[in-house]
Amino acid sequence: MSESLAQDRADDAAGGPYVQLDRNSWAELADHTDIDLDEGTLARLRGLGDPTSREEVEAVYLPLTQLIHLHMRHTGHLYRASNAFLGLDVRRTPFVIGVAGSVAVGKSTTARLLKELLSRSPGRPRVELITTDGFLYPNAELERRGILDRKGFPESYDRRALQRFVVDVKSGMPEVTAPVYSHMVYDVTDEVEVVHRPDILIVEGLNVLQPARVRSNGTTGLALSDFFDFSVYVDAAEQDIRSWYLERFQALRKTAFSDPRSFFKRYATMSDEEATAFAHKVWDEINGPNLRLNVAPTRPRATVILRKGADHDVECVRIRKL
Ligand SMILES: Nc1ncnc2c1ncn2[C@@H]1O[C@H](COP(=O)(O)OP(=O)(O)O)[C@@H](O)[C@H]1O
Ligand SMILES: CC(C)(COP(=O)(O)O)[C@@H](O)C(=O)NCCC(=O)O
């Protein structure tokens, strides 16, 4: 048994803050209302190599959408009542959802599915999604700081700018811009994304559940997750995530890497052995250590943990009850 699974079991035995439901018990919670995704839409939302099926959407993502909707309704009531008590004339505050997990675990598919399903839920809320990679420091700055081989580690992001972005959206600013990262050029671009007062903002990224940093004087500030109303951690065993990463790397060689503009274009023409050795190295020296040191330790901070099995299907769901 892995250390983290053993810890989960110990937490359960001690009556910990989560309730764990297996896939079937979780699926039964859905009331099978009107939300449906056709195969074409689902194909558009899936990440490369991600096999998420309609059955998975129904069994896992519909109950999750309903649970989020419930939280959203009650959070809305609470804000309104609290603002009335304080005599504040504030517009509705966007409901912010964080989606965290390792590189290659399938966070993007989860985030895109939630965006689509939530926007079809009662009241048809306007949902916007941003990924945190736009807030990575540009390669030149990472190089200046000596951390170009630490892309994805917490220190490789402009955390202050990311937090400012979420605070600005949450405080109702009419237009808030976020920088855009390109996997193709392997760097932050000059493009920006503009978020216009959504009802729901989804923030997806490796480190969105990181706790606040301790300042040199021993005090702590606010963390990005202090502005989340709900969060999802997409979880799986590291050996499974590692093999999804390696398979995706091979698939990218035949697709994105063969574009002459791709930063990785030399891996498209390299021998299989050399390319595989490179992908192993990136996992073993960057993404694996980042998962173990920084990403996985934030898992207990999530409202919901989706635990995937080796076939990518969610096997069980843990929900914070306290
Ligand atoms: N080098 C790359 N070139 C093009 N697309 C990539 C590259 N690396 C990752 N991607 C794509 O970027 C998205 C985000 O990947 P990642 O950060 O690993 O998160 P996750 O797999 O959890 O969604 C995925 O859709 C993936 O297919
Ligand atoms: C861009 C990422 C850091 C993910 O960023 P996120 O949107 O999760 O903030 C990751 O997908 C990645 O490309 N890591 C780089 C590992 C490497 O140096 O190749």
Nearest CA to ligand 1 atom 1: 183
**Interval 196-214: pLDDT, tens:** 999 999 999 999 999 999 9
Reported as a pLDDT band with limits 50, 70 and 90, residue 33 is low
Nearest CA to ligand 2 atom 1: 133
pLDDT score, position 322: 85
- Does the annotation list 107 as a binding residue? yes
For domain 3-320, the CATH superfamily is P-loop containing nucleotide triphosphate hydrolases (3.40.50.300)
**Residue 7 pLDDT exceeds 80:** no
Residue 23 CB contacts under 8 Å (≥ 6 apart), including other chains: 59, 60, 313, 314, 315, 316, 317
Tell me the backbone φ, ψ of residue 202, rounded to 5 degrees: -105, 130
Residue 187 CB contacts under 8 Å (≥ 6 apart), including other chains: 138, 139, 181, 263
The closest alpha carbon to 231, from 168, 176, 166, belongs to 166
Mean per-residue pLDDT over the chain, rounded? 93
Q: Are residues 236 and 307 in contact, defined by beta-carbon separation less than 8 angstroms?
A: yes
- The count of other CB atoms within 10 Å of the CB of residue 319 is 18
ipTM over 0.90: yes
Q: How far is the CA of 93 from the centre of ligand 1 (A)?
A: 31
CB 206 less than 6 A from any atom of ligand 2: yes
**CA-to-CA distance for 107 and 98, rounded, in angstroms?**
10
Q: How far is the CA of 151 from the centre of ligand 2 (A)?
A: 6
Distances (CA, A) of 103 to 99, 111, 292: 12, 14, 12
Share of the chain above pLDDT 70, in %: 94
- Does the annotation list 6 as a binding residue? no
Which two tokens mark 169?
A: 């959206």
Reported as a pLDDT band with limits 50, 70 and 90, residue 3 is low
**Residue 12 pLDDT exceeds 80:** no
Reported as a pLDDT band with limits 50, 70 and 90, residue 241 is very high
Q: Are residues 125 and 118 in contact, defined by beta-carbon separation less than 8 angstroms?
A: yes
Nearest CA to ligand 1 atom 15: 104
Q: Which ligand is nearest the CA of 259, by number?
A: 1
Q: Which ligand is nearest the CA of 208, by number?
A: 2
Q: Which residue blocks in 87-208 are alpha helix, DSSP H?
A: 107-119, 139-144, 159-170
Reported as a pLDDT band with limits 50, 70 and 90, residue 91 is confident
**CA-to-CA distance for 314 and 322, rounded, in angstroms?**
23
The overall pTM is greater than 0.90: yes
What are the structural domain ranges in the chain? 3-320
Q: How far is the CA of 224 from the centre of ligand 1 (A)?
A: 22
**CA-to-CA distance for 21 and 27, rounded, in angstroms?**
9
- Does the annotation list 212 as a binding residue? no
Tell me which of 46, 48, 209 to substitute to probe ligand 1's pocket, judged by most ligand atoms within 8 Å of the beta carbon: 48
- Does the annotation list 104 as a binding residue? yes
Token pair 């309704």 in the structure block, residue: 73
From 3-17, 218-232, 233-247, the region with the lowest mean pLDDT: 3-17
Calculate helix-pair angle for 107-119, 62-86, nearest 10 degrees. Answer: 70
